[in-house]
Amino acid sequence: MSVLFKNRKVQWFVVMLLAAGAVLLSETLLPSASRLAVPVISKEEPSAPAPDMQPADSGKPLDNQTTAPLSYRIAEYHMNVAYTPESRQLQGQQTLTWENPGSVPVQELYLHLYPNAFASKKTTFMRESGGKLRQDEARTGTSGSMDLLSVKTMDGEDLSPRMTFVQPDDGNKDDHTLLKIPLPKPVGAGEQVTIKTEFLVKLPAVFARMGYVDDFVMAGQWFPKVAAYERAGTRGRTEPGWNLHQYHGNSEFYADFGLYDVKIQVPSNYTVAATGFPVKPAVTDKGMKTYQFYADDVHDFAWSASPHFVYVEEPFSTPQIPGVKIKLYLDPNHQDLKDRYMNAAKKALTRYSQWYGTYPYSTLSVVVPPPGGNGAGGMEYPTLVTAWGADDKTPDLELERVVVHEIGHQYFYGLVASNEFEEAWLDEGFTSYAEDKVMEMDYGVSPNLPVESSYITSPNTLNQNAWAYTGHDQYAENVYTRGKLVLKAIEKQVGTKTMDRIMRTYFQKWEFKHPSTKDFQNVVEDVTKTKWDDFFNDYVYGAMMMDYSVESIQVKASGMKEKPSYDSTIVIFKKGGNSPEVPIHFHFADGTSLDKTWDGKESRIEFKLTHTAPVDWVRIDPKYSLILENKHINNYLQTEVNPKWKIRWNLGIIQFLQAIFGWVSW
């Protein structure tokens, strides 16, 4: 395809076909779209180079309609939304068609109304987060909400009297983020139901992935979103059913794949970035502009808008990527950094496609929020990611790191589509692991794993509900850092080449299929031909870290005066999880040394060494090879301690500090 598209006549021919195909799609294959109320009816303007006037992106819409879908498209959305800057509101209409993927009839639908998380301090999200997320804080005096103005069947039957808010996780009646809608009749296996809604969203000052900063708007989790329905066998389920959770302080999202056809109306001076691609040039009338975007084989849709975006785009392809249009929507404060953003996106796409598999979409958009907009920053959506806010005009490598990280989510959040409610580490830990590899290979920045392991002060099981962690710090140190370290520890045991094969096999086997932690373990075992129950029970299903301690050193003179000899007895304790190899370094007073390896199977081991000089110190893991060891302070012990200090003076502290300052970045 990339050779074909070098011919401009062919390009324009295909563009016209795509535009015609999109119109045909909306009017014939997707009839519900034509019956939606359009915010503005107006004439189309001629095409121009500006992003809002681009024709349909080449290469995807027709292909996707003439070949088998990449995913099981359970949900189909047709939406119109209008943004009013003066009121900070989104007014929308939605036609949702949902297919029952299970084997039993379904009597009700469940919708996530995520903006209601910001309605008051009493919601589950605000109670659990305390109004804070990362370094961002909810602004006093602003709130967010979603009102369903109408909910009807395609026959016009009003479903609103049947609706009730439900709180399956905590019973908090002040939380209205999950809505149950009983249906007039059951939806049989393989059958579909369509409902039409009108809704009004009040945006908060930007916080926790959505809201506004002056005239910038981030619309993430902005529409009534159908909950995920899992078939029997998905993530270990024995019976089909809904996966139902409220919006929590730590949790992110989980949804089924589907199709999105979305019209977005904004003031005419605004530029819109969105999931998917434009199906035709924007339409302007009476001071307002309407965009239309299309996306399929995705499980979410987000958009952002600003009158100040500096737009940059470049086509990009590699042997693993047939062709993708990278689009930057820069805050003016960072327009001079466009090359850094673009290069980071290219490096990330190149590496991930080499390691895991093809990026299957035709576009990738990077939005840079304005200064003060970090509440919208550092977040991922299908085909669209956000960088940090443009507060700093001369940012360090965090600029590249966040772009690399969020694009990594295109794979483990976007394509594999893990359940971030219940197993967040399958996205965050895997993405952090992949991010480190890109930063090391392309930017020369190696992670300081000993320091990162020391951050794990409250280890907890990884396959648990995100809100079960005590606060955001414990959540982050486990699902991001500890999850990444678990993968690094597996890599340490099996070697880099085998680990690369594990990760690629996992991605390609479970792309578009919603895997579980057990599914990943099965891949590890299949690739290595080894059982990994002990490791996973300790560090994934369990809450352990490694902790090896030099408990005591006793020295006794045993030789003659003419030929001195010393018996040294060293006791090593295992206080945490297992390691198949525990390196131990013994140092003698005459400057000689001895290295041994313990298999770590027992809770303690005693070494008896005879030498012409006494052991004067012992160190466990001198090269920091035990990635999951988080208490390095007891890894070292001297035979004699200066009584003046009356403490166990630990050279390990000194060496550990040297390690901290000796690394470029961590």
3-class DSSP assignment, residue 117: helix
Residue pair 393/333 in contact (Cβ under 8 Å)? The answer is yes
Q: pLDDT tens digit string along 632-665?
A: 999 999 997 554 433 444 445 555 555 544 443 3
The predicted model scores a pTM of: 0.88
- Closest C-alpha to 213, from 400, 391, 472: 391
Q: Dihedral of the CA atoms 229, 232, 238, 241 (nearest 10)?
A: 20
Contacts of 525 (CB under 8 A, 6+ apart): 531, 532
Amino acid at position 504, single letter: R
Please report which confidence band the pLDDT of residue 260 belongs to, taking 50, 70 and 90 as the band edges: very high
How far, rounded to the nearest angstrom, does the alpha carbon of residue 474 sit from its chain's CA centroid? 17
HEC string of 599-631? CCCCCEEEEEEEECCCEEEEEECCCCCCCCECC
3-class DSSP assignment, residue 271: strand
Share the mean pLDDT of the chain.
89
3-class DSSP assignment, residue 647: coil
Q: pLDDT tens digit string along 161-211?
A: 999 999 999 999 999 999 999 999 999 999 999 999 999 999 999 999 999
Q: Which residue has the tokens 């013994």?
A: 586
Q: Does residue 44 have a pLDDT over 80?
A: no
Q: Give the pLDDT of residue 136.
A: 77
Beta-bridged to residue 219, according to DSSP, are 303
CA angle 134, 139, 141 (to 5 degrees): 155
Amino acid at position 99, single letter: E
Strand order in the sheet with 548-557: 548-557, 566-574, 604-611
Please report which confidence band the pLDDT of residue 15 belongs to, taking 50, 70 and 90 as the band edges: very low
Q: Does residue 53 have a pLDDT over 90?
A: no
Residue pair 233/52 in contact (Cβ under 8 Å)? The answer is no
Q: Estimate the crossing angle of helix 517-528 against helix 425-443, to 10 degrees.
A: 50
Q: Give the pLDDT of residue 49.
A: 52
3-class DSSP assignment, residue 413: helix
Which helix H or strand E contains 273, and what residues bound it? Answer: strand 271-274
Q: Give the pLDDT of residue 54.
A: 59
Parallel, antiparallel, or unpaired: how do β-strands 241-243 and 283-285 relate?
A: unpaired
Q: Does residue 39 have a pLDDT over 60?
A: no
Residue 524 to residue 505: CA distance in whole angstroms: 9
Q: Which residue has the tokens 């302070």?
A: 633
Q: Which residue has the tokens 């794979």?
A: 411
Q: Enumerate long-range contacts of 25-34, CB under 8 Å, 24 or more apart.
A: 25/61, 25/65, 25/294, 26/78, 26/261, 29/65, 30/76, 30/78, 30/261, 32/78, 32/95, 32/97, 32/154, 32/194, 33/78, 33/95, 33/261
Choose between 31 and 127: higher pLDDT.
127
Residue 494 to residue 552: CA distance in whole angstroms: 33
Residue 263 to residue 288: CA distance in whole angstroms: 13
Amino acid at position 660, single letter: I
Please report which confidence band the pLDDT of residue 135 belongs to, taking 50, 70 and 90 as the band edges: confident
Q: Which of 28-37, 235-244, 321-330, 652-661 has the lowest mean pLDDT?
A: 28-37
Q: Does residue 501 have a pLDDT over 60?
A: yes
Residue pair 265/81 in contact (Cβ under 8 Å)? The answer is yes
CA distances from residue 644 to 618, 647, 652 in whole angstroms, order as listed? 21, 9, 19
- Closest C-alpha to 295, from 7, 101, 75, 508: 75
DSSP per residue over 434-489, as a string? Answer: HHHHHHHHHH-----HHHHHHT-SS---SSS-GGGSSHHHHHHIIIIIIHHHHHHH
Across the range 490-517, mean pLDDT stands at 98
> What six digits make up the tokens of 188?
């049989």
CA angle 468, 470, 472 (to 5 degrees): 100
Q: Which of 12-26, 85-99, 430-444 has the lowest mean pLDDT?
A: 12-26
Residue pair 590/617 in contact (Cβ under 8 Å)? The answer is no
Q: Give the pLDDT of residue 564.
A: 86
Please report which confidence band the pLDDT of residue 253 belongs to, taking 50, 70 and 90 as the band edges: very high
Contacts of 645 (CB under 8 A, 6+ apart): none
What residue ranges in 100-134 does DSSP mark as E strands?
A: 106-112, 132-133
Q: Dihedral of the CA atoms 608, 595, 583, 609 (nearest 10)?
A: 0
Residue 290 to residue 43: CA distance in whole angstroms: 10
The two most distant CA atoms of the chain are separated, in Å, by 106
What does the DSSP 8-state code read for residue 340? H
Q: Give the pLDDT of residue 29.
A: 34
Q: Does residue 489 have a pLDDT over 60?
A: yes
Residue 336 to residue 327: CA distance in whole angstroms: 15
Q: Give the pLDDT of residue 653.
A: 53
Of the CA atoms within 13 Å of residue 468, those in its CB half-sphere come to: 15
Across the range 88-95, mean pLDDT stands at 98
Residue pair 584/619 in contact (Cβ under 8 Å)? The answer is yes
Q: pLDDT tens digit string along 58-78?
A: 544 434 445 789 999 999 999
CA distances from residue 375 to 140, 198, 251, 368 in whole angstroms, order as listed? 14, 27, 16, 12
Residue 588 to residue 542: CA distance in whole angstroms: 38
- Closest C-alpha to 576, from 477, 407, 453: 453
Q: Estimate the crossing angle of helix 338-355 against helix 425-443, to 10 degrees.
A: 110
Q: pLDDT tens digit string along 574-608?
A: 999 999 999 999 999 999 999 999 999 899 999 99
